[in-house]
Amino acid sequence: MKKLSQYGGWDSKLEERAREILTLRFSELSDSFEFAAKGKGKACGDSYISAAYECRLEAGERRRLIEGLGAKGELRKKLEALDDERLSRVVEGVKSKLSPEGALRASRTIDILAKTKAGGKKVGGDNLQNPVDAAKYAEFYEKGGDKTFKSAYNTSAEEVDFVIKRMRDERIWSKVSASLGNKGTPEASMRKEAWDGQPADARAKAVLKSLMDNDFKDVLGNELPWNSGMQLDHKLAGSMGGKDTEDNWIWVSSATNQVKGGIEREIKSKGMTGAEADRFLNDKLISTLKTNASMSADEVAKIKNQGSAAAVAKAQRRAALKENMPLMTTSQIDSRIKEAKLPELKDMLQASTLGGSRPAFLKKTVRGQTSYPTGPQSKSVLKMRWGLNLESSDLKNIGQAIASSTYDTRSKAEILQVIIDRFGPTTGLTPAQRKAILDAAG
């Protein structure tokens, strides 16, 4: 560069472009580019590059990096099998004081989380699983496994911190942190008790450690899709005094979690507590799993396929309603609402939401999950949405829907605003109507 500059063949623009190209690989040539400054971007050998670029190493550099790790035997074979980007990740992990084994696990964790996909919608048969696994789960619970299970690892804070740092630098963390933080859908009171006052991603960080402790496997040792195939379960449910803390977490298949959640809701409705509730849960869980285990794989598949077909049909019905309801006259909508039974009312609520909002807005289950209002309440909400005349009974129904949101920590006025945001009345509510609704809500 200096010689070219001396002879007039170099200018500032050309130099800027040359430095930009060189910096894609060699950070020491320009610390002025943030993405390539030391510790920024993703690791590539001894340098850092933008997350948008592919890391490529020369053969000699690869050998030097692997030899520098001092790995032998099976570990060395695993390192040699890595591509340039993953090898560079491991090298950086070791520089961050991790062992080669720990850095390898951290790199694998990043790869798993980077493939995150949203969990699919639940369909019929979701509480069924492979009969062989159902039998193993039944045996697991018969032996008291949910109380005695121990994780395979105790992941260090340094490993977790390194994973999060690299995911941030590789622009992955924001994509998955919310999913991690919401695993297990703890009741609002459980979440508040355990995590209130802590950093926003404290629970996500703890869930990540738990996944790493269990090597992304359930209690049977099955490696399942962490965001859809298995669930974070509370050994002792919140309704039975359980805490939302790591020592009360366990990873089970989504199907097993569905079964257990249903039994917990039954326990809540029966008013059971203490040892009675614990025995009922354990006995019924084992019995249900054994029933699943007695089925053939074909029977399970048939039920799941029927559930999938029903889900498709439901989606088609709702799509047709969403398209057609705005075209109906007021009298047609009024007649449709009056004649509808609860299943169709759910479809109509789904079709009547504004934008991409979800119709289930009442937090009324044992885990604080959202659900639909009753039939009369649904009809009143739909009448409000489509600008029909609201009688005093309708205002009372909407107020009672708000009152039934028993696991919601928001004020009654805030819940009403949620309903309005999702089912905004075309004619608007008058102050008197708002007051009547909130009075009925109590």
Q: How far is CA 179 from CA 113, 245, 254, 288, in A?
A: 10, 17, 15, 29
pTM of the model: 0.66
Mean pLDDT by 10 residues, the chain (442 residues): 49 61 44 42 82 85 90 91 92 92 94 71 67 95 89 94 91 87 84 91 95 95 89 85 91 92 87 88 94 90 77 79 88 92 88 78 65 90 92 94 84 88 81 93 89
Kindly state the tokens that stand for 211. 């996944």
Give the torsion through C-alpha atoms of 334, 338, 341, 344, to 10 deg.
0
137-161: burial string, b at 16+ Cβ within 10 Å, e else: bbebbeeebbeeeebeeebbeebbe
What residues have CB less than 8 Å from 129, skipping those under 6 apart?
137, 253, 255, 256, 292, 300
pLDDT of 384: 92
45 and 88 in contact (C-beta within 8 Å)? yes
How far from chain centre, in Å, is Cα 218? 16
Please give the Cα distance from 29 to 60 (Å, whole number).
21
pLDDT of 32: 32
pLDDT of 3: 46
Q: Where are the domains of the chain?
A: 2-95, 131-295, 320-441
Please give the Cα distance from 114 to 212 (Å, whole number).
14
Helix, strand or coil, per DSSP, at residue 156? coil
pLDDT of 11: 61
pLDDT of 12: 63
Helix, strand or coil, per DSSP, at residue 412? helix
Beta bridge partners of 233: 250
Give the DSSP letter string of 211-247: HHHTTTB-TTS-B--TTTTEEEEESS-GGGT--SSGG
